[in-house]
């Protein structure tokens, strides 16, 4: 059993600040736990825009605070995302988030991320893996 709080991981290598400066992510469950998914709390900052394309991952996002406009860059469809709204990128859709007020969300990735990922020039997370070893329990 693993018990961990977001407070426990603040300032550690699990607390990732994007090179773009548009978001930060607290990655509370990672690939090294070997449970088949990763779980994060991510905050995207008001007034920013981030284009993403999870070519290697499926992501589910549940908004818990704030407001954003989600655009499916492939179809042009736009959605307002507010607390209690979930979106699922089950087709590896290219998308853009325009943040109206600080947007805090809980995200699940499959396959799980390692914690070292950041978006590349195409908005993609590389498919990184962990070496075979015992899962981390702390």
User: What pLDDT does residue 135 have?
Assistant: 54
How far, in whole angstroms, is CA 76 from its chain's centroid?
22
- In angstroms, rounded to a whole number, what is the distance separating the alpha carbons of residues 107 and 89? 11
Each of the 138 residues of the chain gets a pLDDT tens digit; together they read 999 999 999 999 999 998 889 999 999 999 899 999 999 999 999 999 999 998 888 999 999 999 999 999 999 999 999 999 999 999 999 999 999 999 999 999 999 988 765 555 665 565 556 565 555 555
104's CB contacts (< 8 A; 6+ apart) are 41, 42, 43, 63, 64, 65, 66
Taking the alpha carbons of 102, 88, 49, 114 in that order, is the dihedral positive or negative?
Answer: positive
1's CB contacts (< 8 A; 6+ apart) are none
In this structure, the number of other CB atoms found within 10 A of the CB of residue 28 comes to: 20
Q: What share of the chain is helix, strand, coil (3-state, %, to 5)?
A: 5, 45, 50
Enter the pTM of the model.
Answer: 0.83
User: What pLDDT does residue 72 have?
Assistant: 98
User: What pLDDT does residue 47 have?
Assistant: 98
- In angstroms, rounded to a whole number, what is the distance separating the alpha carbons of residues 21 and 99? 13
The answer to whether 75 and 1 have CB atoms below 8 angstroms apart is no
């Amino acid at each position: 059993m693993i018990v961990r709080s977001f407070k426990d991981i603040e300032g550690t290598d699990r607390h990732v600040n994007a090179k773009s400066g548009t978001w930060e992510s607290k990655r509370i469950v990672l690939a090294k736990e070997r449970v088949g998914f990763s779980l994060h709390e991510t905050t995207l900052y008001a007034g920013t825009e981030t284009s993403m394309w999870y070519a290697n991952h499926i992501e589910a996002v549940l908004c818990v605070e704030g407001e954003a406009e989600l655009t499916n860059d492939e179809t042009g469809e736009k959605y307002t995302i507010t607390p209690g709204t979930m979106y699922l990128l089950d087709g590896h859709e290219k998308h853009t988030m325009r943040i109206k007020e600080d947007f805090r969300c809980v995200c699940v990735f499959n396959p799980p991320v390692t914690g070292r990922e950041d978006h590349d020039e195409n908005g993609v997370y590389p498919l990184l893996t962990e070496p075979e070893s015992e899962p981390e329990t702390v």
